[in-house]
A and B are shown apart, each in its own frame.
Chain A
Amino acid sequence: MLVIRRRAGESLFIGEGVEIKILEVGASQVKLGIEAPKEVTILRSEVRETQQANQAAARQASPELMAEMLKKLRR
């Protein structure tokens, strides 16, 4: 992984069209500004993880697993 130190007010570029600006550095959070072409999808990692989890959840549970799950839940 490439590691770069930046201060608030500085920025960096990724490829031709994407600029990431460090707007504010707080005690527990960093505020970023992102300039990117419309076609570039920007997702918070937890949203991306949720997408993947939802897609996995859409594959259905087998009847056996379902039965076992209910047995445990009702105990």
Chain B
Amino acid sequence: MLRCASREFGVIEYDTSTLISFPRGLPGFESERLFVPIEREATKPVLFLQSLVSPDLCFLTLPVEAIDPNYRIALSVDDLNVIGIAAEADKSLRCLALVCAGEKGSPTVNLLGPLVINPETRQGVQAIRDDSDYSVQHPLFPGPEAPKCL
């Protein structure tokens, strides 16, 4: 087991075979390519993505199905190539939405650009669509006054 430092979790042990790689990084974090996935019983279904090289960088993500069971995204051929999938292949992929704590304790999730991960190669890409109705800042818990999404 190897070790890396995390501000959130202290020193964590990981196996290189569990790392998730983003060959293109993430927008705004282009040089961050490798992340340690951390799932804790106490915080399920949250999946933390701890940067391997930046102890301060730990993203909080949720599986999209925990937010919207009917969530669908069409991936571009380009994005599929990044994670090593032929366009016509029928694969089950992991799809994670990044959680943003939000200003007034009202967290939002990015459903327009989820992290899509090929579980076989453990390669991921932030798949940003321009033809989707989802939002970059989808409220995780719509308030009572907020208009209901249909």
Contacts and interface: CB of A to CB of B under 8 A. Distances in A.
A60 B110 contact: no
A60 B28 contact: no
A74 to B, nearest CB: 8
- Contact size class for B? 20 to 34
B82 interface: no
A54 B43 CA distance: 21
Task: Tell me whether chain B's interface is mostly helix, strand or loop, or mixed.
Answer: loop
A4 interface: no
B29, B100, B140, most chain A CB atoms within 10 A: B100
Contacts of B113: 46, 50, 53
A6 to B, nearest CB: 21
Contact of A60 (B66, B101, B129): B101
Given A57-B60, A65-B105, A73-B66, A50 B100 contact: no
B141 interface: yes
Interface residues of A, number: 25
Given A53-B100, A54-B27, A59-B101, A44 B140 contact: no
A69 B140 contact: yes
Given A50-B113, A54-B27, A58-B29, A70 B43 contact: yes
Interface string B107-129: 10010110000000000001011
Contacts of A47: 27, 128
A73 to B, nearest CB: 6
6 closest A-B pairs by CB: A51-B28, A61-B101, A54-B28, A51-B27, A57-B100, A50-B113
Interface of B: 8, 26-29, 43, 45-46, 57-60, 62, 66, 98-101, 105, 107, 110, 112-113, 126, 128-130, 136-137, 140-141
Interface of A: 44, 46-62, 65-66, 68-70, 72-73
